[in-house]
Amino acid sequence: MAKVIGPDVSFYQDDPETPQGINFTRMRQHAQFVIVRAGQNLWGDRDFKANWRGAKAAGLPRGSYWFYDSRIDPKQQAEKWVSMFEGDFGELPLFGDFEDTYNGGYRGWKHWYDFLERVKQLIPSNKEIGVYTGYYYWLENTVGVSIPTASLNYFKQYPLWIAAYNPTGPSVPKPWDDWTLWQFTDNGDGAVYGVESLNIDLNYFNGEKDAFEQRFGVTLGPAPEPTPPGKNYRVTVTSLKVRSGPGLSFGQIGSIKLNEVVERLESNADETWHKIRRLDGSLTGWSFAAYLQNLGGTPSGGDTGTGGTGGTGSGGSGDPGSGTTNPPPDEEDTDWYRVTASSLKIRIGPGLEFESIGTFTFGELVEKLDASPDNKWLRVRSKDGRKTGWSSGDYLISVHNPSSEPPPSTTVPDYNDKNWYKVTTSTLNLRESPNLTAKIISTLSKNDIIPALDESNSNWVRTQKLDGSTGWCSRDYLAQVSTAKRPDSVSQALSPGVTYLRKDLNSPRPIVVHVLAIDLQAQKLEFLVTPSANNTDVLCTRTTSKFLEEFKLHAAINGGYFSYLDASFIPSKLCPNGGDPVRISDYAASRGKIYSNKKTAQPVIHIGKKNQVIFNPKQPAVFNAISGDRLVVVEGKVVKNLAAQVPNPRTAVGLSKNGRWLTLLVVDGRQAGYSEGVTFPELAELLISYGVYTGANMDGGGSSSMVIRGFDGKARVLNSPIEMNQPGKERPVGNHLGLFIKP
């Protein structure tokens, strides 16, 4: 069956630092329709009008969507949306996008009703409205809040556009019986569809071409021919490298300066590289397409460009290779650093005694200008050139060549109203009562950060470890780090080689990060991926806590993507011990048994018998393997043009450059005032700040959980998962990654 496919786009697919926009002519060569974001809240999408016009000019049938925002009156949102069209409502339905997690005053299905009804009043009677949502989100916010049957059935009149990133097809929530559009991935190849982001959302229509044309009253003509070579292009960077072939592996044979005009001779298959020639014929080679602005016309001679101001791109401009949002100015420059502190002071000289003149923020990219003789202080400049000064090198990590591979930096648990202390001796006993003859319950390690639960004894402090063990320790070996406030960064050793780290960030929004830093050279560590009882890709869901307790592990996180089986599979038969039967979406293996042998584009994390970890390539003898969603860090750098996303809970796995440190990271989200989550680029920056050289996003959202074994043998959840909009509630998931510490 020939599938009808189309992307959905927004301003996220347009890099504001480049003059071009989406190349809809190129998109039309591979897509049969497009759905364009109109806006959110009371904000119109900055690219909507250009995208709406460009898609129409390219002959693409157009739909639109509006991201419903629970913080704003739904009727006002409806009115803003309709005003964006100026009478041209497109050819496909207008979709209300219901996935909001702001928890505003207008949240929930009753307000969705008001929104849709107001849209209906304002648009022509023959214009169709649809609903975009995800299976779990819809259930959580309708069935999960006991919506009346009649009210649920009201929504059936609207065609369903469902998000489900799996290869087998989407689950359809009530009241619908079927779907109209299926958003099957958010990881499509942006280059193919003419956008500037690396990834793009892609959607299927539920039917073939004839059904699509009949359903929407459109005719899908043939795709236009690709833009021919032989056009004028202007160089848009200070110095553009020219290489002997189309890729970074080819040697540099020259360079072309800013604003020089060149002739394009040909392009590689995905048009990410152009073969160009100087107009005087003195240099011919390959360069990044992203740094070449199409001016149109034929060569006219001269060394520098004088015409053309940009506009929408064509003929391959705006394809990948365009760099990250904040790239260093030269692909081989090694003097760029990222800030790893939430707020890093800028001083007029190299030392604490010098006056502070400003701050850099977490993740900010800065250029090294100079260094103190001992290299402990660096003189750096912000990327925009507005801030220059000296900052501590302890909080700056080289983007290209990290000089060392230390264990990830420290970071924190609760007790916001308590004083906090750091352990200053190598081992500190935790006793039942405040005296040296009392029974030893447990031990603390040097640099552990602990809360003071009771300070009534002048020589002893009562505290609690992460595992729940509570006791008294000598005050002589404690240094106070905060007064009546949990510090922003806290750490605690769980065992030799395994440390829990927590960091609380206030910028760019409230974010709480949980990390398990694991030294793979430590003895007595064993890993486990959730096994399959029948050696097939069908598993029974468990919470991460249940997984940890069932297999008597010491730490665990949730694993990769999975999909629910349809109604023909009876849960009680497939899962007699509880849970729902699900199918693992990607490659997976447990203790030498491969139970999901799928070949997909998703990254695979292999963990060998001796705890050697490698991403993607299969080892000769597969032991443990689990798949992520996408790579977000490669060679210590943020993957270019990660699909822009709203902040969400995330789970990630990362590995240091020397393969010694494994980082398991969970970010809480969807909880206003506590932690709102991170985007994919922000997740990558966090991983890099913990020394990660290669890192992958796993399954996130309501699935994100980090659990350890408590002092009593029961699971203790370290983060704040969110299931069915309930903070602290874990979601049962398909598979997990666990750690056992041998006695």
For the residues 434-445, what does the mean pLDDT come to? Answer: 95
Q: What is the pLDDT of residue 267?
A: 85
The residues of the chain that CATH labels 3.20.20.80 are 5-216
For the residues 435-440, what does the mean pLDDT come to? Answer: 94
Q: What is the pLDDT of residue 321?
A: 30
Lowest-pLDDT range, 394-403, 488-497, 569-578?
394-403
The CA distance from 586 to 599, in Å, is 7
Tell me: pLDDT of 439 over 60: yes
For residue 10, the Cα-to-chain-centroid distance in whole angstroms is: 17
Token couple for 693: 């050289």
Tell me: pLDDT of 402 over 70: no
Confidence of residue 363 (pLDDT cuts 50, 70, 90): low
The residues of the chain that CATH labels 2.30.30.40 are 336-398, 420-487
For residue 472, the Cα-to-chain-centroid distance in whole angstroms is: 41
**Of residues 84, 95, 83, the one with CA closest to residue 33:** 95
Asked if residue 289 lies in contact with residue 316, where contact means CB atoms within 8 angstroms, the answer is yes
Token couple for 218: 């459109």
Asked if residue 283 lies in contact with residue 313, where contact means CB atoms within 8 angstroms, the answer is no
- Superfamily of domain 5-216 in CATH is Glycosidases (3.20.20.80)
Per cent of the chain over pLDDT 70 is: 86
For the residues 83-99, what does the mean pLDDT come to? Answer: 94
Please tell me what DSSP assigns to residue 268. -
Residues in Cβ contact with 530 at an 8 Å cutoff, skipping those fewer than 6 apart: 539, 542, 547, 559, 590, 734, 735, 736, 738
Lowest-pLDDT range, 13-17, 352-356, 724-728?
13-17
Phi/psi at 475 (5° precision): -70, -20
For the residues 718-732, what does the mean pLDDT come to? Answer: 86
Q: What is the pLDDT of residue 320?
A: 27
For the residues 683-694, what does the mean pLDDT come to? Answer: 95
Token couple for 695: 């890192």
For the residues 237-259, what does the mean pLDDT come to? Answer: 79
pLDDT in tens, 177-222: 999 999 988 878 888 899 988 788 999 999 999 999 999 999 987 7
How confident is the prediction for the chain on average, in pLDDT? 84
The CA distance from 5 to 317, in Å, is 22
Q: What is the pLDDT of residue 238?
A: 57
Per cent of the chain over pLDDT 90 is: 53
Residues in Cβ contact with 47 at an 8 Å cutoff, skipping those fewer than 6 apart: 10, 11, 13, 14, 21, 22
> DSSP alpha helices (H): ranges in 323-373?
none
For residue 544, the Cα-to-chain-centroid distance in whole angstroms is: 21
pLDDT in tens, 574-612: 888 888 888 999 999 999 999 999 887 789 999 999 999
Asked if residue 701 lies in contact with residue 660, where contact means CB atoms within 8 angstroms, the answer is no
Q: What is the pLDDT of residue 315?
A: 26
* pLDDT higher at 234 or 539: 539
Q: What is the pLDDT of residue 675?
A: 92
* pLDDT higher at 190 or 718: 718
The CA distance from 52 to 529, in Å, is 47
What element of type H or E holds 235?
strand 232-235
The CA distance from 550 to 539, in Å, is 15
The CA distance from 696 to 670, in Å, is 21
* 500: β partners: 492, 516
Confidence of residue 411 (pLDDT cuts 50, 70, 90): very low
Q: What is the pLDDT of residue 5?
A: 94
* pLDDT higher at 566 or 291: 291
CA atoms within 13 Å, Cβ hemisphere of 695:
33
- Peptide bond connecting 732 to the previous residue in cis, omega within 30 degrees of 0: no
Asked if residue 400 lies in contact with residue 338, where contact means CB atoms within 8 angstroms, the answer is no
The CA distance from 571 to 674, in Å, is 36
The CA distance from 364 to 130, in Å, is 40
Residue 461 burial (CB count, 10 A): 24
Q: What is the pLDDT of residue 264?
A: 87
Confidence of residue 319 (pLDDT cuts 50, 70, 90): very low
The CA distance from 472 to 430, in Å, is 5
- Exposed/middle/buried for 421, CB within 10 Å: 0-12, 13-18, 19+? buried
pTM tops 0.75, yes or no: no
For the residues 12-41, what does the mean pLDDT come to? Answer: 86
Confidence of residue 236 (pLDDT cuts 50, 70, 90): low
Please tell me what DSSP assigns to residue 157. G
Q: What is the pLDDT of residue 217?
A: 93
Number of H helices, E strands in the chain: 10, 53
CA atoms within 13 Å, Cβ hemisphere of 16:
7
The CA distance from 472 to 134, in Å, is 49
Tell me: pLDDT of 674 over 70: yes
Asked if residue 414 lies in contact with residue 350, where contact means CB atoms within 8 angstroms, the answer is no
Torsion of CA 619, 625, 626, 630, to 10 degrees: -10
Tell me: pLDDT of 468 over 70: yes
**Of residues 666, 718, 680, the one with CA closest to residue 467:** 718
Tell me: pLDDT of 433 over 60: yes
Q: Which CATH number applies to 336-398: 3.40.50.300, 3.40.640.10, 3.40.190.10, 2.30.30.40?
A: 2.30.30.40
Please provide the CATH number assigned to the domain covering 420-487.
2.30.30.40
Measuring CA to CA, how many Å separate 483 from each of 73, 415, 451, 456, 486?
Answer: 42, 11, 10, 15, 8
Count of all residues that appear for the chain in the document: 743
The CA distance from 350 to 364, in Å, is 20
For the residues 719-738, what does the mean pLDDT come to? Answer: 89
Asked if residue 611 lies in contact with residue 520, where contact means CB atoms within 8 angstroms, the answer is yes
Across 220-224, 280-284, 332-336, 381-385, the highest mean pLDDT is recorded for 280-284
pLDDT in tens, 507-560: 889 999 999 999 999 988 999 999 998 889 999 999 999 999 999 999 999 999
468 backbone φψ class: left, alpha, beta (φ>0; ψ -120 to 50): left
Tell me: pLDDT of 326 over 80: no
Residue 95 burial (CB count, 10 A): 26
Please tell me what DSSP assigns to residue 703. G
Residues in Cβ contact with 149 at an 8 Å cutoff, skipping those fewer than 6 apart: none
**Of residues 268, 294, 281, 277, the one with CA closest to residue 242:** 277
Tell me: pLDDT of 77 over 70: yes
Measuring CA to CA, how many Å separate 555 from each of 518, 705, 738?
Answer: 11, 11, 6
